[in-house]
Structure formats: structure tokens, C-alpha cells
Amino acid sequence: MVLPRAPKALFFDVFGTCVDWRTTVTDALELGSHRALDSAEKSLSSAVRLKASNMTVEDWGNLAQEWRNTYKRFTKTLAADPSLHWKTIDDHHLDSIRELLAEWKLEGLWADEEVRALSLIWHRLNPWLDSSPGITELNRLFQTATLSNGNFSLLNDLTAHAQMKFTHIFSAELFGAYKPSPTVYLGAASALHLQPSDCAMVAAHLNDLKAAKSHGMQVIYVERPREEDWSKEEVEQARRDGWVDLWITNEEDGFLTMAQKLGVKLDEEMLKGFRAHSDPN
């Protein structure tokens, strides 16, 4: 066992760690724009039509990133001040995309019901290629659970869409707080009748892992493209400091490598097939 002690449960961050939100959301925004521009039934203002027509894939990606950034600020604010009015992630996603469309001068590109439907794209994010098979393999030795700020309906839809067969679905909503509040980490361990030290938090974000570590959990870092908010220097310092218990790099096979390092014996033919599919060259 590569961890200080064998965990009984693995808790997973979801957005970015298990699913590639950036590609899915960017594609949904761009496709939705093309449909709106090509619709014979829409009457778009010339300013909105010109703005949307000039948007590149990179521009839609930047809008997706801003949308994601509002989520980070929102959850951090509520985690720091429990007295604030509770609001679900679904409600936040709808409110924030409305605000962003106004800021980007894209109001009117979609009708209100279309904006509502678009805000639910977070229920249908596509997984990283290793997520579904890796979680299935990890289930052979451990309890596995989401530990995400996403609300229950979002997580239930998302895990079904991505075919990620966690043994438990835990949402911050269950604990009335958002990560990085200690209530979430400690509440999740307690829900499984475990001590925090019997649990490991899995995430592609060092700030999430640092919080989990401070509350007694073991921590596993799984690198994902463009997911880390810390600077390169801060990441390297964290690696030198050694507080991350297991570090899976981008060059490895994500959750499958994690499973192997945690003692799961993987079928070599399955692993070869996965590698051939993920890197056809």
C-alpha cells in the first residue's frame, strides 16, 4: 500500500477530476450558437448576431472558463460564511450564465427556456477516458463516493451519463455547506461511519486536497489537463513538501494507475486496450 494506511473509502471530486467539463461546455455553447444563428424562427438583433457570428471556439472556451470561475467564487464564498442563504449549484449555473450573457452582450441569442436548458449541460459532462473503468476497478477493493459541490440531481444525472458506478453519491448539499468547509469532509467520513484517516480524497485540485488533508484525510492527486489553479511553482513546492500521499501524473493512466498503486490487480489485456483507445498513435 502506497498510502500511509489502507483506506476504506475513496472520495472523489467530480468537476475536472472525473469529467472534462471544459470540452463539453465549450462544445455546447458553440453548437447552441450555431443553431441560434441558423434558425429561421429567431429574430436576433444585428448586434447580437454580429457578436455571436464573430465568436471563435477559443472565445466560447473563454466564456466556459468564466462560467466555471463564477462557480468557484460562489462555492468559496458560501463555504466561508455559513450564514449566507443556501443556493444549489443548478440555481447558480442558471443565474451566472444569464449574467455572463449580458456581460458578453449575447442577451437574446437564446430564449429563456433555451438558457435554462443550456444551464443544465453540467448534468451531461463527458468523463475522462479512465474515469469509468478506473472507478469500476477501484470498487473491487474500496467504497467509492462522489464528494462534490454539485447538487444531488446534478450528480445523479452526471454519474449516469458518464457511466461512473460509484458505490455512493455524496453531495455537499447533504451537509449544508460547500467545500472547502470542514463540514463536508468530516460529514462524508461520518456518513460512512469512518474516521477521516480511513478515507482518501481524490482530486485534480491541490486546494481541495489541502483542505481534506487538514481535516485528517489521506489525499491523492490526479493531474488533469488545465485543471490546477495553483501556479507551476506552487505545484512544484507542494510536491517537494510531500504532503500529497499519492501523485498520479498526466503521463500515467489516471484512475487506472491509481487503482494499480492501491493494490487492484488489473487485467493486462484490458489495460492494453485502454491505452490503444486513448492513444491510437
Task: Give the per-residue pLDDT at 39.
Answer: 94
Dihedral (CA of 95, 98, 102, 103) sign: positive
Nearest alpha carbon to residue 17 among 209, 184, 153: 209
Report the length, in residues, of the chain. 281
Q: Where are the domains of the chain?
A: 9-19+127-278, 21-123
Span 111-145, pLDDT tens digits? 999 999 999 999 999 999 999 999 999 999 999 99
Residue 194 in grid coordinates: 469512518
Q: What's the pLDDT score for residue 2?
A: 86
Amino acid at the residue 177: A
The fraction of the chain above a pLDDT of 90, given in percent, is 93
Question: What's the pLDDT at 277?
Answer: 84
pLDDT in tens, 86-109: 999 999 999 999 999 999 999 999
213's CB contacts (< 8 A; 6+ apart) are: 201, 219, 243
Query: Which DSSP letter does residue 122 get?
Result: G
Rounded to whole angstroms, how far apart are CA atoms 97 and 94? 5
Task: Confirm if 158 and 167 have CB atoms less than 8 A apart.
Answer: no
Cα separation values, 137 from 13, 141, 255, Å: 18, 8, 9
Which is nearest to 223 in space by CA: 240, 237, 202? 202
Q: What is the pLDDT of residue 280?
A: 57
Per-10-residue mean pLDDT, the chain, length 281: 91 98 98 96 94 98 98 96 92 98 97 97 98 98 98 98 98 96 97 98 98 98 97 98 97 97 94 83 56
Residue 116's pLDDT is 98
Architecture of domain 9-19+127-278: 3-Layer(aba) Sandwich (3.40)
Judging by DSSP bridges, how do beta strands 246-248 and 168-171 pair with one another? unpaired
